[in-house]
């Protein structure tokens, strides 16, 4: 395996410094150097590869609460984007000796190749409890400069997540069509050509940092997907004449993505709309609601969500640091459909008269349970109703 970074063969001291002055000392793994970002935690027991490649984590240093990470290595099947997206990685114990029939290499080698810093050997339980008490904080991982005062100064000079638009860092630069056969993007081609190949529903996907498994699940329900940049205009989307429009997950503050909000405002009432995560928040903002930053966010694969439409409880995969304020919805236009059972925050809504709905969590899972996969079918059914011709009064 060719390593482009500097893989660490022997123990190298590293430090994690938080903006509140707390200092953790451990050992580096992956690449060397230093990196700043918002320090958050994820409670998933498995799925570190999917977490690392989720574009929603751009700008963040992710702490895994499960203590042993790396034992099944890295494979090509579980990528949620083409590369790791995190700013850094924190674990209690990194396990370099991987063992899995799909593995093509170690986690440390893979992080080194993509120049991602990791730190192990720190008290991740203490760190997680601190984040829960104080809130998500900016931090820095360094394996080079170990001076506490300089590292703290660098942290406090780094940008805060609130007010930060990170979608431009992770979105596609050009539109492309998604080919489920080999699960790789290929050059944009006329949608009609793909419909004849078996796809039934033409869907435009706004890429705010879309996960591959969202595209796989949409494809599995017969959707022919054209993925477009986050700044793609409403007029350009309507020229493609899709049956529906999907708003993807992504990183950063939804209120900072003003161009996306303005575009979705123009599309409301024109085509069926379905949003997930950041897409859910942008859709809510386009409908006049407001968002706010959570104290430490929801990140993990076991968050309970109640479906208010049928009373069922879904165990969900989540990754977000902002939420929609349901009190700012117009109750005559919007109906809340899902609520988080841990803290009561909004997890979903639908429009009372237009073909629009969205959820805050991740029905595609990866990693996580599949309790909410029905939402993709619900999107298809909504497009089918919208495409059906209106039935007028019959003449005698």
Question: Any idea which residues carry the catalytic annotation?
Answer: 277, 362, 364
174-180 long-range Cβ contacts below 8 angstroms, 24+ apart: 174/229, 175/226, 175/227, 175/228, 175/229, 175/232, 176/226, 176/227, 177/224, 177/225, 177/226, 177/227, 178/205, 178/215, 178/219, 178/225, 178/226, 178/227, 180/215, 180/216, 180/219, 180/220
Task: Give the span between the Cα atoms of 131 and 149, in whole angstroms.
Answer: 21
What's the burial of 393, exposed, middle or buried (CB within 10 Å: 0-12/13-18/19+)? exposed
Residues 6+ apart with CB under 8 A from 108: 7, 8, 29, 30, 70, 94, 96, 118
Other Cβ atoms closer than 10 A to 96: 14
Task: Give the span between the Cα atoms of 319 and 49, in whole angstroms.
Answer: 14
Task: Give the span between the Cα atoms of 72 and 111, in whole angstroms.
Answer: 14
Task: Give the span between the Cα atoms of 348 and 306, in whole angstroms.
Answer: 10
- Tell me the DSSP string of 131-157: HHHH--EEEEEESS---HHHHHHHHHH
Mapped onto helix, strand or coil, the DSSP state of residue 316 is strand
Task: Give the span between the Cα atoms of 381 and 386, in whole angstroms.
Answer: 9
Task: Give the span between the Cα atoms of 125 and 292, in whole angstroms.
Answer: 27
């Amino acid at each position: 395996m060719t390593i482009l970074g500097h893989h660490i063969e022997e123990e190298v001291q590293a430090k994690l410094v938080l903006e509140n002055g707390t200092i953790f000392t451990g050992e580096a793994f992956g690449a060397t150097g230093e990196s700043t970002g918002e320090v958050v935690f994820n409670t998933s027991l498995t799925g570190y590869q999917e977490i690392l490649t989720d574009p929603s984590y751009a700008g963040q240093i992710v702490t895994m609460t499960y203590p042993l990470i790396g034992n099944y290595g890295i494979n090509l099947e579980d990528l949620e984007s083409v590369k790791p997206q995190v700013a850094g990685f924190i674990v209690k114990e990194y396990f370099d000796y991987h063992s899995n029939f799909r593995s093509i290499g170690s986690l440390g080698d893979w992080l080194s190749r993509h120049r991602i810093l990791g730190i192990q050997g720190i008290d991740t339980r203490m760190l997680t409890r601190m984040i829960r008490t104080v809130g998500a904080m900016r931090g820095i991982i360094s394996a080079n400069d170990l001076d506490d005062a300089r590292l703290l100064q660098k942290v406090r000079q780094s940008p805060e997540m609130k007010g930060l638009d990170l979608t431009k860092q992770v979105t596609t630069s050009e539109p492309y069509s998604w080919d489920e056969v080999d699960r790789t993007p290929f050059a944009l081609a006329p949608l009609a050509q793909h419909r004849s190949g078996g796809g039934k529903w033409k869907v435009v996907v706004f890429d705010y940092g879309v996960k591959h498994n969202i595209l796989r699940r949409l494809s599995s329900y017969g959707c022919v997907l054209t993925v477009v940049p986050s700044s793609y205009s409403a007029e350009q989307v309507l020229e493609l004449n899709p049956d529906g429009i999907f708003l993807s997950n992504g990183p950063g503050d939804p209120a900072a993505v003003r161009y996306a909000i303005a575009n979705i405002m123009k599309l409301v009432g024109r085509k069926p709309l379905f949003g997930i995560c950041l897409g859910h928040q942008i859709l809510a903002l386009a409908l006049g609601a407001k968002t706010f930053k959570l104290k430490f966010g929801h990140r993990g694969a076991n968050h309970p969500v109640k479906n208010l439409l049928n009373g069922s409880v879904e165990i969900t995969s989540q990754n977000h640091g902002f939420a929609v304020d349901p009190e700012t919805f117009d109750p005559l236009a919007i109906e809340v459909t899902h609520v988080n059972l841990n803290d009561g925050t909004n997890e979903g809504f639908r429009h009372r008269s237009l073909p629009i709905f969205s959820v805050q969590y991740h029905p595609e899972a990866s990693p996580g349970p599949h309790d909410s996969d029905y939402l993709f079918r619900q999107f298809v059914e909504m497009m089918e109703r919208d495409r059906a011709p209106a039935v007028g009064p019959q003449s005698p």
